[in-house]
Amino acid sequence: MLKGIANAFRIPELRKKILITIGILLLYRLGAYLPAPGVPFSSMLKAYQTAAAGSGAIAVLNLFSGGALSRVSVFSLGIMPYITAQIILQMFQAVIPSLGELAKEGEAGQRKITQYTRYLTVLLALINAIGYLFLFKSYGIDFSNMGFPEIIEDIIIIGVLLTGAIIIMWLGEVITQRGIGNGMSLIIFANIMAGLPNALSSSVATSGTGLLWTIITLVVVIAIIPVIVYIERGQRRIPVQYAKRVVGRRMMGGQATYLPVKVNTAGVVPIIFASALLYIPAQLAIFFPNVGWVQGFANAISTGWINWILSVVLIVFFAYFYTSMVFNPDETADQLRKAGGFIPGVRPGGATAAYIKNVLDHITLPGALFMAALAVIPSILFTITGNTLMQAFGGTSVLILVGVAMDTISQLESQLKMHNYEGFFK
């Protein structure tokens, strides 16, 4: 591992990408501590603690913002408006033919979809910023020390939060384009890691069996990481045979190979998308801070048995949905037919597409259920034990951390191999 890191820093282009990624993540964490103008620190912290104690939805919002919400910082909205916009656009591609065709147009089409995602992110961030202003005021946070009329102060707070969301979106895109890894995933990675030290100290300080549960949680997490890696790397290899054909004076084809189909084709996307959807009721509840049934509904969706059931259903749904978007059996079967390849015992064309789809459906379900179990079981244990480490470092967090780390290392590995350097894996 250390040798792979040293090799990465020997390549100027790769070194620049790594430093850009690290620099942007540090800048993002700085923004999470930079308070919005006019925020009184003492009353702000007391108000958040009161709100979080009475509302699981508020705690969920703060978790996804990397603690920025509890500080009423410039980045209080976090990355979730951007993720929600991506979910909406991806689902629209499946139901709106024009968007679906646009996605198939290659780089030009993707640029247009990215632009639409940005516009929708700004709209969602504006709505969230207005809701957060209502939330802050409902819990007694006073912005009047800015010395402006109230309407001007409100506009300033909304503008700051909206600008912060736009900056986060831009930072994520810069990482994706000029750094290493997926910017959106790495920002979520940074949010989770930022909450771990506080969760660890709170867990140890818990009276009674706090230390015991902390040790048990850490041991289980360390033990489950190899299982996650095994599932993430697991694949079903469909045998493919290429027919012999004469090209000029040479005999081409005739070799046997395989078509790799990953057990978890969708990666950590289903968990991120499911969490984002379950986060929407908490977002809506901030517009009605004093309406009891709205808060109760948001809390029920954010925590408890309803949240567990919905988490399993949404993770399985998005596993199939995202897999169908990134792996098209019809296109794969058509490409095999054009290249002279076939699956032994299966007729080319429609039969091959049906066979691949059947394999895909059968191996996606175990992977999706595994992710759902890891996401839900720690939440159930947190409800029973009350240990904060299980909430902050539960299965969802571990899956995202391991998945993002593996994707980033894989990109580094490919860059090193391209420059003829030994990578992280031997």
Which residue ranges make up each domain of the chain? Answer: 2-418
Residue 119 burial (10 A CB sphere; 0-12, 13-18, 19+): exposed
Are the CB atoms for 176 and 182 separated by under 8 Å? yes
Residue type, 104: K
Question: What is 2-418's CATH number?
Answer: 1.10.3370.10
Q: Measured between alpha carbons, how far is residue 369 from residues 295, 311, 360, 425 in Å?
A: 30, 11, 14, 28
Q: Which helix (H) or strand (E) holds 292?
A: helix 292-302
> Alpha-carbon distance 327 to 265, whole Å?
8
Q: How many CB atoms lie within 10 A of CB 388?
A: 22
The first and second tokens of residue 407, run together, are 């994707």
Are the CB atoms for 314 and 274 separated by under 8 Å? yes
- The DSSP bridge pattern shows strands 235-242 and 256-262 to be antiparallel
**Residue-level pLDDT, tens digit, the chain, 426 residues:** 666 677 777 778 888 888 999 999 999 888 888 887 776 655 555 555 555 544 555 666 676 677 777 777 888 888 888 888 888 887 787 777 787 777 777 777 888 888 888 999 999 889 888 887 877 776 666 666 666 777 888 888 889 889 999 999 999 889 988 888 888 888 888 888 877 777 777 777 765 666 777 787 788 778 888 888 888 788 888 888 877 665 556 655 567 778 888 888 877 778 877 877 877 777 777 667 666 777 777 777 777 788 888 888 988 998 888 888 778 888 888 888 877 777 888 888 888 888 888 888 888 888 888 888 887 887 777 777 766 676 666 667 777 788 888 888 888 877 777 766 655 555
> Alpha-carbon distance 318 to 371, whole Å?
11
> Alpha-carbon distance 44 to 388, whole Å?
22
Residues 6+ apart with CB under 8 A from 344: 239, 241
Query: Residues for the chain: how many in total?
Result: 426
Biggest CA pair distance of the chain? 86
pLDDT at position 122, please?
Answer: 92
Name the 3-class secondary structure at 259: strand
pLDDT at position 336, please?
Answer: 81
Are the CB atoms for 389 and 203 separated by under 8 Å? yes
> What is the C-alpha radius of gyration for the chain, rounded to an integer number of angstroms?
24
Are the CB atoms for 120 and 88 separated by under 8 Å? yes
Q: Measured between alpha carbons, how far is residue 272 from residues 32, 252, 280 in Å?
A: 20, 45, 13
Are the CB atoms for 133 and 157 separated by under 8 Å? yes
Residue type, 259: L
> Alpha-carbon distance 119 to 116, whole Å?
5
The first and second tokens of residue 128, run together, are 């969230």
